[in-house]
Amino acid sequence: MRVLLVEDDHSLAEIVAEGLRDQGMAVDLAHDGTDALARLDVVTPDVVVLDRDLPGVHGDVVCQLITDRRVRPMVLMLTAAGAPGDRVGGLALGADDYVAKPFHFPELVLRIRALARRRPDARPRTLRAVGIELDPIRRTVRRDHQPIALSVKEFAVLEALLRASPGFLSAEALLDQVWDEHADPFTNTVAVTVGRLRRKLGGPAVIMTTPGVGYRIADA
């Protein structure tokens, strides 16, 4: 899952971003409305966590511009203005959810995941293929009913491949979805992570590779 976090408080933004990354999300940061809109022309997040009181272009305007897009991410407004009237106003602008500061971080994570599931192209909660069962909410993976312990990035790669199945994902696409804008496009981290994931999933092989095309989940 990819998240664009738009927050002008740099310290808070870094803390929240690191927390979300620890939950397996790829997080891009913007600190004002102008930067947020520029990044949305480059990346395609699943969810935008949007501070309402932004310098440059106000968060209300950013929200309206996002909702006008043909293909748009879900929007969670995150702001210090938490009165009922403020929440109604934020939702009226097109936001999909609204969280007031200060917030409880585990709740923020659950709300982001819930919004991602509500996207029109979202898959069912539990992803299944060739004996694999992945639950993005409980963060569990089983193969033939046996639990498998995965790292955060291994889990995120498997989730991305299951969501794309039966299609392919290139290494570049995985880098884009699972890591973030700071990832080195020339790194072999995708191949290394997929290799570790294959070993943990065991045989027969679940992840197939086609040179020059990418990775996909094996046919049942």
Gyration radius of the chain's alpha carbons: 18
Say which residue, 93 or 194, is predicted with more confidence.
Answer: 194
State both tokens at 175.
Answer: 């880098």
Cβ-Cβ contacts under 8 Å for 25 (sequence gap 6 or more)? 1, 2, 3, 112, 156
What is the rounded CA–CA span in Å between residue 41 and residue 122?
21
Q: E-assigned strands of the chain? A: 2-6, 26-30, 47-51, 74-79, 97-100, 127-129, 132-135, 140-143, 146-147, 207-210, 214-217
For residue range 153-195, what is the model confidence (pLDDT) as tens digits? Answer: 999 999 999 988 889 999 888 888 888 766 666 678 899 999 9
For residue range 1-55, what is the model confidence (pLDDT) as tens digits? Answer: 899 999 999 999 999 999 999 888 889 999 999 999 999 988 889 999 999 889 9
Residue 142 pLDDT greater than 60, yes or no: yes
CB atoms within 10 A of CB 169: 23
CATH fold group of domain 127-217: Arc Repressor Mutant, subunit A (1.10.10)
What's the burial of 143, exposed, middle or buried (CB within 10 Å: 0-12/13-18/19+)?
middle
What's the burial of 204, exposed, middle or buried (CB within 10 Å: 0-12/13-18/19+)?
exposed
Give domain limits for the chain.
2-118, 127-217
Order of strands across the sheet that contains 127-129? 127-129, 132-135, 140-143, 146-147
Residue 217 pLDDT greater than 90, yes or no: yes
The pTM for the full model equals 0.67
Q: Report CA-CA distances (Å) from 71 to 18, 27, 31, 76, 90.
A: 27, 19, 23, 16, 20
Say which residue, 113 or 185, is predicted with more confidence.
Answer: 113
The pLDDT of residue 102 is 86
What is the rounded CA–CA span in Å between residue 59 and residue 68?
14
* Pairing, β 132-135 against β 140-143: antiparallel
Q: Report CA-CA distances (Å) from 108 to 20, 46, 49, 142, 185.
A: 9, 15, 10, 26, 30
Q: For residue 100, what pLDDT band results from cuts at 50, 70 and 90? A: confident
Which of 19-28, 63-72, 78-87, 165-174 comes out lowest in average pLDDT?
Answer: 78-87
* 48-52, 68-72, 133-137, range with greatest mean pLDDT: 48-52
End-to-end CA, the chain: 25
What is the rounded CA–CA span in Å between residue 35 and residue 148?
40
Q: For residue 212, what pLDDT band results from cuts at 50, 70 and 90? A: confident
Residue 78 pLDDT greater than 90, yes or no: no
Q: Please give the mean pLDDT across all residues of the chain.
A: 87
Say which residue, 13 or 121, is predicted with more confidence.
Answer: 13
CATH fold group of domain 2-118: Rossmann fold (3.40.50)
Q: Do 93 and 67 contact (CB within 8 A), yes or no?
A: yes
What is the rounded CA–CA span in Å between residue 116 and residue 112?
6
Residue 112 pLDDT greater than 60, yes or no: yes
State both tokens at 206.
Answer: 């679940």
Say which residue, 91 or 105, is predicted with more confidence.
Answer: 105
The pLDDT of residue 63 is 92
